[in-house]
Amino acid sequence: MTRSGSLYQTMVASGDDPDAPRRVRVERRDDRAVVTLDEPHRLNVLSAPLVRQLRCALRDLDADPDVRSVVLTGADPGFSAGGDLKMMDAAVEQLDAPEGVADVWRWIRREFGGIARLIAGSETVFVAALNGAAAGVGLAWALTCDLVIASERAEIVPAFGRLGLIPEVGASWALTRRLGYQGAFAYYLRGEHIDAHTAYRMGLVQEVVTHDRLMEAADEWCSRISEMPPHAVAMAKPLLRAASDANWADALTLEEFAEPTCFTTAAFADSVHSMLNREAD
């Protein structure tokens, strides 16, 4: 349990304040949802209200079996500037308190990390739609998503080093798998902004589109998901995430255990019958 009046509890109370302005918008349509970080005048900085509202929104969508895909984006002009410097300053001032750095750890693990774990562990597919600059924890959340698409205005901002921080909230895992160890280390040391097309060449995003087509392109990915049998996508996501950490033999074993389940589904049976009928014609 946390100490009464600790920094963590203060931040949670601030984020859950019913009078706090809404910092997250959720739009539902059929089997998909768009979640927008909505504090554009601060470039969607990760204030306590935004973080707590986002966690609540994603938890509700994840619990809804009718939602198959979620698009995570920001209100223009940016995706997210990352951590709230005002909160960081408050944390620094509290480091000599009885809780010390444990209070900061609680916020990072339970709130920032809680959102990343929800995205990664959910059977729902998450599509990050980068509409502008993405930095810090906001960038880490985007890289945790199952797909990342970018507007031509998007920028990847590796701000960790300049703040005296390290890659956080799963970013070290994502970066080393996309860039390799040396590429990730060079990315960290350079700290240079990376434009959308360079990010695509590096494998940090899967598609770059004009700014006015970003949400249309995100919706097209959601439609691809909708057109596939629900069990196939729901099973492929954890399989592929596990395989990224497995050796070849273990990945093969994971597939061998998962594949027979697919044979039991009506969707697979219908596909086989349909193909056999075409061959017979």
What pLDDT sits at residue 5? 64
Q: Is the pLDDT of residue 249 over 90?
A: no
Angle between helix 171-190 and 136-144 (nearest 10): 130
Average pLDDT over residues 129-156: 96
Are residues 147 and 178 in contact, defined by beta-carbon separation less than 8 angstroms? no
Residue 210 confidence class, pLDDT cut points 50, 70, 90 = very high
Residue 94 confidence class, pLDDT cut points 50, 70, 90 = low
Architecture field, domain 7-227: Alpha-Beta Complex (3.90)
Average pLDDT over residues 143-169: 89
Hey, where are the domains in the chain?
A: 7-227, 230-280
Average pLDDT over residues 194-217: 97
Residue 3 confidence class, pLDDT cut points 50, 70, 90 = very low
Amino acid letter, residue 53: Q
What pLDDT sits at residue 228? 94
Average pLDDT over residues 12-16: 83
Average model confidence (pLDDT) for the chain? Answer: 88
What pLDDT sits at residue 1? 36
Architecture field, domain 230-280: Orthogonal Bundle (1.10)
Weakest-pLDDT range from 171-180, 194-203, 206-215:
171-180
Weakest-pLDDT range from 39-43, 242-246, 253-257:
253-257
Query: Residues 6 or more apart from 220 whose CB is under 8 A from it?
Result: none
Q: Is the pLDDT of residue 2 over 70?
A: no
Name the token pair of 32: 């998909």
C-alpha of 127 from chain center? 7
Q: In sequence order, what E strands does the chain have? A: 24-29, 32-37, 69-74, 125-130, 133-135, 147-151, 155-157, 194-195, 207-209
